[in-house]
């Protein structure tokens, strides 16, 4: 149970419902409520597809590329550290959309990846399967995707309640947790490589 909770917290932080919510509000500005719902559902479905692909096949992909788990763990730790710094300090923000990106499906893809299931989520998924096993990772991943979907569906209400300032504070806190996990993964990977 503790492992599921740890994996869930990490995946929620990496998928970042706060950042996803802010970007979702920006991307869907001017859209009708029904269109926003469709974009949220399709975007989460895209993210889920990528998550499951790497949960079930991530280790085989590493074997195919001849990359050791310790090396991947160290590299993944660096990715998480950079993401944590980005979230904590607000240094960068994901590209919101291209000029021609006006359709519901294309918006859903942008939200699904790289926003929810981007490189950090892929890295974390593979690492969690290696550390906690497939069942724990799948349960935590499904729970995280449900949280993301619910936050997107309730985005307008959440924005009214806590405002952009509140969302920024939450994003900073999530960034610090991501940074700490990144350091843990990096140190563990280096220790494994030097053993």
**What average pLDDT does this structure show over 154-171?**
79
pLDDT at 104: 67
pLDDT at position 181 over 70? yes
**What average pLDDT does this structure show over 177-184?**
80
Task: Give the C-alpha separation, 170 to 123, whole Å.
Answer: 23
pLDDT at 114: 67
Q: Which two tokens stand for residue 29?
A: 């500005």
pLDDT at position 102 over 60? no
Give the residue among 46, 169, 185, 178 at the shortest CA–CA distance from 127.
185
pLDDT at 124: 87
pLDDT at 72: 77
**What average pLDDT does this structure show over 46-75?**
86
pLDDT at position 42 over 80? yes
Higher pLDDT, 195 or 46: 46
Lowest mean pLDDT of 7-11, 116-120, 133-137, 141-145, name the range.
116-120
Which pLDDT tens digit goes with each residue over 112-127? 876 788 777 888 899 8
Sign of CA dihedral 165, 168, 174, 177: negative
Give the residue among 104, 78, 87 at the shortest CA–CA distance from 20.
87
Task: Give the C-alpha separation, 68 to 86, whole Å.
Answer: 27
**What average pLDDT does this structure show over 122-146?**
93
Higher pLDDT, 176 or 94: 176
Average pLDDT in the chain: 82
């Amino acid at each position: 149970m503790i492992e599921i909770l740890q994996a869930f917290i990490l995946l929620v932080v990496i998928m970042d419902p706060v950042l996803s919510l802010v970007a979702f509000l920006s991307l869907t500005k001017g859209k009708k409520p029904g269109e926003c719902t469709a974009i949220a559902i399709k975007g989460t479905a895209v993210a889920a597809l990528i998550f499951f692909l790497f949960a079930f096949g991530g280790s085989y992909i590493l074997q195919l590329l001849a990359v050791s788990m310790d090396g991947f763990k160290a590299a993944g730790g660096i990715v998480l550290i950079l993401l944590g710094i980005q979230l904590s300090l607000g240094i960068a923000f994901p590209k919101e959309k291209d000029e021609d990106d006006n359709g519901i499906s294309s918006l859903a893809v942008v939200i699904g990846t790289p926003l929810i299931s981007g490189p950090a989520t892929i890295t974390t998924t593979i690492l969690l399967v290696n550390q906690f096993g497939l069942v724990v990772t799948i349960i935590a991943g499904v729970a995280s995707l449900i949280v993301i979907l619910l936050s997107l569906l309730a985005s307008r209400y959440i924005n009214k309640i806590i405002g952009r300032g509140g969302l920024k504070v939450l994003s900073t806190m999530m960034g610090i947790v991501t940074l700490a996990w990144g350091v843990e993964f990096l140190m563990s990977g280096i220790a494994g490589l030097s053993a």
